Structure 1
Amino acid sequence: MNYRFLSVISMAATLAFTTGCNTNKGVTAGGTTAAATPKPQVAPTDSILTIAPQKHTFNPSRTLEHDLLHTKLRISFNWEKQQLNGLAELTLKPYFYPQNKLVLDAQGFDVHSINLLKDNDGTPLKYEYDGRKLTIQLNKTYTRTEQYIIEIEYTAKPNELAKGGSDAITEDKGLYFINPLGQEPDKPKQIWTQGETQANSAWFPTIDTPNERMTQEIYITVDPKYTTLSNGAFIYSRQNADGTKTDYWKQELPHAPYLAMLAIGEYAVVKDKWRDKEVNYYVEPAYKGTAKKIFGNTPEMMEFFSKKLGVAYPWAKYSQVVVRDFVSGAMENTSASTFMEDLQLNERELLDKNWDGIIAHELFHQWFGDYVTTESWANLPLNEAFANYSEYLWAEHKYGPDEAAYSQLDELNQYLDEAETKREPLIRYHYKNQDDMFDSHSYAKGGRVLHMLRKYVGDEAFWASLNLYLTRNKFSAVEVAELRMAFEDITGKDLMWFFDQWFMKPGHPELEVNHTYANGQLAIRVKQLQDTTYTPVYRLPLQIAIWNEGKKSLYPIEITKAEQTFTFPVSTQPQSVLFDAENQLLGTIAHAKTGAELTYQFYNAKQFAPKMEAIVKLKEKVAEPEVRKLLETALKDDYWVVRSTAINLLSNLSKEQATTLEPTIAQMAQKDKRGAVRADAILTLAAWNGDKYRTLFEKALNDSSYQVTAAAILAYAGSGATDTMQKLARFDDEKNEEIVLALANLYAMQGGEAKYKWFLDKLKQGKNSSLYYLLQSFGAYLAGNEEANTPEAIKILSDLAQNHNQYYVRASAYQALTVMSNKSEVKALLEEIKKAEKDERVLEMYNQMQ
């Protein structure tokens, strides 16, 4: 599963035409835009980082009393009631010890009958049901050599379950009906499932744990206008006498119950192929023409990963389906991954974005998560760290080292941001809820740790070890020791130290590095500053690069102490020293360097991370001639992120200081091959001299890139043009989120009464992340336009605050409502909403808003 699930350039919340700020934060490998979970903008509360590994209950793997061998489902749906009618046949046997009763997970069912099947005859069985667990008294005591089949007729009612969820998976009711009555004209009718972590038991009875495995058959009865998708191979479709059809899907290889899925809707199925296997893309008909441009690298990814791992993609087919209102970014259901609707892009949007990162992530899960599965949620990084690292691997292979390094730097920053308030072991058995495992530790930190392991053992050993791990543990559940043993068996190295400090202990190294030169010796002193009460003193093998008399030399070192000094013979004062020359370390490095050393590093290191370090550390000296010259060189860099960063730092120059630079930035605003860079250049010109470049901004309104057009909207509005509203009115019907959010930012301040209906229309059309930011702008609009504080606006915000499935949208709608809290009816409504809200994350946000 990919938890970085929101795709939006948050102009409504972050852009201002006077700042020249970067419009492209969160762009991942290949240019995909992916923001972290948005949070309402409230004043932060003081917090103290605490590390307490045992503050929650111990959560081991589930004890298996029965082994679920096979699940056969016959299902149909009641769209009006949003219910599933099911007949389940479960084939089981005792796992080891004799058993005379069976306990199944079954959430919120009406159970109609339970029978023991034998030779097509059914014998009723006694059972007890508490709404979560179904306890069945078997007809006798079975041994581990005896199989039996239970038939359960039931109705699943997911909407009657108590709401739950997390940052990564915002709801957990398992089965979702989208626009079931067809009352939303711009939204298709769909049904889809989401099983991770333990939500598939909300639509079929099962043993809902990742250390269980089953084969499956699903017969899905629907209206013939709908296309269905499930795991495994499509066997046939049968027309029924009542006008419905039944599609039959069969999964012949075993997988964990949480990976079972179905998706139903009116889809265009775009066919592709890898080797002799079907690769299909299920998209809404409007995106049939771009489906291969969105997903078309999938066969190449399958070949790349299959060859690297030495294990060919193992499943019968690979399908990818896009659904509306998904509760996460994507989900790696076996042979059939599900994706959020943001992946559906038109031709123009594809100029700025691709989703290769998330596509590679879910594909790699087909090996790490599906073929070999974590035995408990405590071991989740065995699924997610690998899927996360696949994004780096694919970027490295397809787009080159700069794109891969940028993606890795983004991962490091995600983890370090979370580590400000939370530090846990990667493998953690003590958690409050299994959904807590889906965080930047399991993903971002985990992926970076795998990269360090790869660097330590070497590429050949890394891939050989993964091959052994996969082949040795195929179709089974694993814990972290089995990964370690695979690496040890291949390399002959004892790796307990590596796994202990990186997987089993919280925190990360916090290094202070200083270098001094005297008498032909370079001394590098390294201090580990992290709190060693819970965090270890790390063993850190890495490399140091030293430039001396224009020559680069690499020196391997191994840090093993809290404070350590390394010396190297050099003929003269080094021109630059690069600690961790491979940029592989997960942690923080405070290394004091002179401006001359940083400048030399920029021109000579040739790698993305050292270039960026030099640029960022010199940002306070942007007006100095040498630094300005460096940034002007960066404007010509082959990699777009370097160019973009340089533009944004140069935007801090005053109008007078920037005079000679303006022609270069103006040229980039019009000619740079990357839309993101053109957008940054436009905003920088707007910050320097907006009225001078009004004509350029007007021309940019017609740019092929949505990012550029959005920047031009803000720049033109900030130029003082008297015809701004007339000129921009032609974009009012645009649905692209970047254009909508740019307009919302403008209209919040300057729209007046005329834009009241525009805001309401966009709120009705908005979705998830863009809706969150739109609500931020609407709140600002309401604050400045009291005549817009109408019952209609109150009703829309109230509905979103109470009923939207994304918790952060509910919180943002509530926040917008607080603008009108001077009205007694709104004040009472806010109390009512707060009282009814059950999600602890939302309640915490409400408390901060007070």
Structure 2
Amino acid sequence: MNHRFLNIVGLAAAMAFAGGCSTNKSVLDAKAPLPATTKAAKPTGAVPAWAPKKYKFNPSRTREHDLLHTTLRVSFDWQQQYLNGLAELTLKPYFYPQNQLVLDAKGMDIHSVYLMKGYDGTALKYKYDGQKLTIDLGKTYTRDEEYKIEISYTAKPNELAVGGSDAITEDKGLYFINPLGENPDKPQQIWTQGETEASSAWFPTIDAPNERMTQDTYITIDPKYTTLSNGAFVYSRQNADGTKTDYWKQEKPHAPYLAMLAIGEFAVVEDSWRDIEVNYYVEPEYEKTAKKVFGNTPEMMEFFSQKLGVDYPWPKYAQVVVRDFVSGAMENTSASTFMEDLQLNERELLDKSWDGIIAHELFHQWFGDLVTTESWANLPLNEAFANYSEYLWAEHKYGADEAAYLQLDELGQYLDEAETKREPLIRYYYKDREDMFDSHSYAKGGRVLHMLRKLVGDDAWWASLNLYLTRNKYTEVEVAELRMAFEDVTGKDLMWFFDQWFMKPGHPELIVSQSYNKGQLQLYVRQVQDTTYAPVYRLPLQVAVWSGGKKQLHPIVVDKAEQTFTFDVASQPQLVLFDAEQQLLGVVEHEKTEDELLFQFQHANQLAPKLKALAELQEQATRPQVQAIYKEALQDDFWMVRSTAINILSRLKEGQVALLEPAIRKMAVDDKKGSVRAEAILALAGWGGEKYQAVFNRAMQDSSYQVAAAGILAYAGTGAQDVKQKLAQFDKEENEEIVLALATYYAVQAGPEKYDWFMTKMKKAGGSELYYLLQSFGAYLAGNSQTNTPEAIAMLADLAQNHSLYYVRGSAYQALMVMSEKPEVQQLMQQIKANEKDERLLEMYVY
């Protein structure tokens, strides 16, 4: 599961155009994470906001029965949004004799339960409470006796209470998209989402990650639809009633939460890896670009198979893009599901690559599907590895800087979350299993794996992963089994590493200082993290020292609260770089002089130190020698260095950057990276856009949507008389970045004539685009009371009550608040709050 898409960067929805242009450059380009600095210490005795919480203990599910096989025969009622199912489950007691079977079955009508012997069935007594189906087996079975249960049922997912998390916004398991075909801009689809325990909302099962089953799935549907499920496609049979039945067979065991189906009018783009089918299921409009989005998949499969020494383990690999997905993507066995954002046209491909999320779900086919966490408490055994695969692929395919950029992003995500939450990676004490899907399990977990790789070395890293996978394939695991694989390969006792990084909360916070005297460099290191909650860490790392233009590496082990390290250095060091490999997950405060920072940018030759130097030098950015460094940065080979330099320089007044302005103006036109051109355009806009009208006008016609959107925002800020005319030419554009740029302007500068534009765009938008569009629409309604129509109220109320994404429901509710002086709107808002089940929204709602 990938939830990175939920880290949505802010749109300048409140941007004021009257009298100038206040630009928010995070609208158009990627986040530029910089290494953080140490926060002020908490008052003695105070309990920090992030202190670990003590919830009830959550062990793995006790295994009373072993679910061996599931056969599903399903058909659908589009009108009522029901699944009609017949499930045949083959089981046996796990160890102890059993005379009763308890299955997870959420929100169903149970029609019958039979014990099957061949084709003969004996009715069994059962009890059902809407969540658990308790079956009296009629006799006691031992662990050597298999038995088959047949259950006829109807799944009613829309009648379930809504749950979910930031990563998986709903948990009703089965989703009908545009079921009656009433929305001409949205296809009719059916798809499932099983993680964490939502597969039991569409078929009765033992819905726990430590269970495994093989599976046959028979899907009966209108022949116009294409189906997808786990395993190999066996056949499609035409039925007498005009329907067809597609049969998919999953012969190798996997966890029930990984079961899936997807149904829609998909174009299937065929590819292959070795002798395995690799197919991409997309809407027909995107058939020609599907391979440009997903086409690196076979190369990824080869790369991961070679490195792990374990070939991709399933009979096919399919990737399907669906509408209104409740997460970023999901690693269903042999058939990953993706959000609609991965459907790109040719022009959008200029700016976007989804290789990260594609690699993430693919790596899960080993880490999560082949070897599965035994409990949600051990979720990083799935997600940390999938997260780290993004780094591994970027390092292999795109080079060290792209990989380092990803790692900085991960560090920033974790440290942001650590301001309010610090828990162990492996945590048995949690309030809700959905809470495990956070930046600890993903971002911190990936960075911890990187440190483990650096600790043992590359050869041992890959050998240990091979042992872990081969030893534990088709089974469930806990973190000790990962540790033992590494120990068995390396011969090292790694309990200390796993204890401090997996079992303890927090991260190291270090203050580093130095002195030099008579050929000796002394490095002082203090660990200042709150040891009430975090350990004193053991940190093997390297220190790089430049002296006389030469670099020396010194390995050290930081393992005390206060420590001094002494090195022989012939002359005054030009730079001391703590953690020379930039592998540490933590916060390091190491003050440097201006000269040291200038030297660091030019000689460290790594992304993080270069960006850190630029950030630390921004207070001196008007000094000639510092501007010379920024000039170098504007010419750097890596796009993020150029982008960061522009971002920092844009905060200065125009006269302070006179020598660098021509270079930035040139970059706005011809930098090879679209996001950098967009950054440069917004910088020029902040310096007084009128004289750059020609640049902005050209930008609006740029091949990159990012650049065109920046041009729209920048040109709007010039106050030119033809702004509305210029922007109107983009009104029919469907691209998200263009639409949101226009919405930002129309929110505060347009009148009733743009009402229909807003309504049309909102009906077509989904996900994060709709979230931001609603924010702009709320501002628009506030400035145009005559557009507060019953139609607008009804649309917002429908979104606030019925949209599958909680943050869209919240944004629609906020837009309604603009009209809260109307009694009918107040009544609607009270009704919305009364019916809302999501605690995240209820905390916000005022009525």
TM-score, length basis structure 1: 0.96
Residue equivalent to 2:330: 331
1:5 partnered with 2:5: yes
Alpha-carbon deviations, 1:201-258, whole Å to 9, x = none?
0111110000000000000000000000000000000000000000000000000010
Q: Superposed, which structure 2 residues align to 1:265-664 within 5 Å?
A: 265-664=264-663
Work out whether residues 11 and 26 of structure 2, in 8 Å CA contact, stay in contact via their aligned partners in 1.
no
> Which range is displaced more, 742-751 or 262-271?
742-751
Cα deviation, residue 798, structure 1: 1.5
Counterpart residue type for residue 468 of structure 1: L
Residue equivalent to 1:21: 25
SS in 2 for 1:294: helix
> Which range is displaced more, 729-738 or 54-63?
54-63
Alpha-carbon deviations, 1:546-579, whole Å to 9, x = none?
1101111111000010111111111222111111
Counterpart residue type for residue 226 of structure 1: Y
Residue equivalent to 1:162: 161
Gaps of 5+ in 1: 30-46
Cα deviation, residue 21, structure 1: 3.2
Residue equivalent to 2:138: 139
1: CA distance between counterparts of 2:104 and 2:118?
26
Work out whether residues 651 and 684 of structure 1, in 8 Å CA contact, stay in contact via their aligned partners in 2.
yes
Cα deviation, residue 15, structure 1: 6.7
2: CA distance between counterparts of 1:49 and 1:391?
33
Q: CA 1:386–1:399 in structure 2 vs 1: closer, same or farther (change >3 Å)?
A: same
Work out whether residues 163 and 173 of structure 1, in 8 Å CA contact, stay in contact via their aligned partners in 2.
yes
Q: Superposed, which structure 2 residues align to 1:752-767 within 5 Å?
A: 752-767=751-766
Counterpart residue type for residue 362 of structure 2: L
> Which range is displaced more, 239-248 or 801-810?
801-810
SS in 2 for 1:599: helix
Counterpart residue type for residue 444 of structure 2: K
2: CA distance between counterparts of 1:19 and 1:645?
16
2: CA distance between counterparts of 1:754 and 1:738?
21
Cα deviation, residue 786, structure 1: 2.1
2: CA distance between counterparts of 1:492 and 1:14?
58
Work out whether residues 12 and 777 of structure 1, in 8 Å CA contact, stay in contact via their aligned partners in 2.
no
SS in 1 for 2:127: strand
Alpha-carbon deviations, 1:594-620, whole Å to 9, x = none?
111011000001111110010011112
Residue equivalent to 2:43: none
SS in 2 for 1:517: strand
Counterpart residue type for residue 3 of structure 1: H
Residue equivalent to 2:231: 232
Q: CA 1:638–1:23 in structure 2 vs 1: closer, same or farther (change >3 Å)?
A: farther
SS in 1 for 2:87: strand
Counterpart residue type for residue 599 of structure 1: L
Cα deviation, residue 805, structure 1: 1.0
2: CA distance between counterparts of 1:497 and 1:79?
55
Work out whether residues 753 and 787 of structure 1, in 8 Å CA contact, stay in contact via their aligned partners in 2.
yes
2: CA distance between counterparts of 1:101 and 1:178?
38
> Which range is displaced more, 181-190 or 118-127?
118-127
Work out whether residues 5 and 330 of structure 1, in 8 Å CA contact, stay in contact via their aligned partners in 2.
no
> Which range is displaced more, 1-10 or 419-428?
1-10
1:672 partnered with 2:676: no
1:827 partnered with 2:826: yes
2: CA distance between counterparts of 1:367 and 1:14?
45
1:73 partnered with 2:68: no
Alpha-carbon deviations, 1:608-663, whole Å to 9, x = none?
11100100111122111111111111000000010011111111222222333232
Cα deviation, residue 701, structure 1: 1.1
Q: CA 1:12–1:48 in structure 2 vs 1: closer, same or farther (change >3 Å)?
A: farther
Cα deviation, residue 780, structure 1: 1.5
Alpha-carbon deviations, 1:151-209, whole Å to 9, x = none?
11111111111111111110000000000000011000000000000000011111000
> Which range is displaced more, 487-496 or 11-20?
11-20
1: CA distance between counterparts of 2:15 and 2:260?
40
Gaps of 5+ in 2: 34-45
> Which range is displaced more, 726-735 or 12-21?
12-21
Counterpart residue type for residue 133 of structure 1: K
SS in 2 for 1:820: coil
Cα deviation, residue 782, structure 1: 1.8
Cα deviation, residue 14, structure 1: 7.8
2: CA distance between counterparts of 1:268 and 1:19?
40
> Which range is displaced more, 611-620 or 788-797?
788-797
1:692 partnered with 2:691: yes
Pairwise CA RMSD: 1.5
Work out whether residues 272 and 278 of structure 1, in 8 Å CA contact, stay in contact via their aligned partners in 2.
yes
SS in 1 for 2:289: helix
> Which range is displaced more, 623-632 or 778-787?
778-787
Cα deviation, residue 10, structure 1: 4.4
Residue equivalent to 2:38: none
Work out whether residues 32 and 640 of structure 2, in 8 Å CA contact, stay in contact via their aligned partners in 1.
no
Alpha-carbon deviations, 1:83-114, whole Å to 9, x = none?
01111110000000111111111111111111
Counterpart residue type for residue 721 of structure 2: T
Alpha-carbon deviations, 1:716-765, whole Å to 9, x = none?
11112100001110101111010000001111111122212211111211
Q: Superposed, which structure 2 residues align to 1:771-782 within 5 Å?
A: 771-782=770-781
Counterpart residue type for residue 661 of structure 2: E
SS in 1 for 2:703: coil
2: CA distance between counterparts of 1:510 and 1:444?
18
Counterpart residue type for residue 811 of structure 1: G
Alpha-carbon deviations, 1:66-97, whole Å to 9, x = none?
00000001110010010011111100000001
* Percentage of identical aligned residues: 73
2: CA distance between counterparts of 1:454 and 1:479?
19
1: CA distance between counterparts of 2:303 and 2:28?
29
SS in 1 for 2:288: helix
Work out whether residues 115 and 151 of structure 1, in 8 Å CA contact, stay in contact via their aligned partners in 2.
yes
1: CA distance between counterparts of 2:430 and 2:317?
34
Work out whether residues 377 and 436 of structure 2, in 8 Å CA contact, stay in contact via their aligned partners in 1.
yes
Cα deviation, residue 270, structure 1: 0.2
Counterpart residue type for residue 678 of structure 1: R
Residue equivalent to 2:199: 200
Cα deviation, residue 823, structure 1: 2.3
Residue equivalent to 1:682: 681
* Aligned pairs, number: 831
2: CA distance between counterparts of 1:509 and 1:83?
51
Cα deviation, residue 826, structure 1: 2.1
Residue equivalent to 1:116: 115
Counterpart residue type for residue 25 of structure 2: C
Residue equivalent to 1:36: none
SS in 2 for 1:845: coil
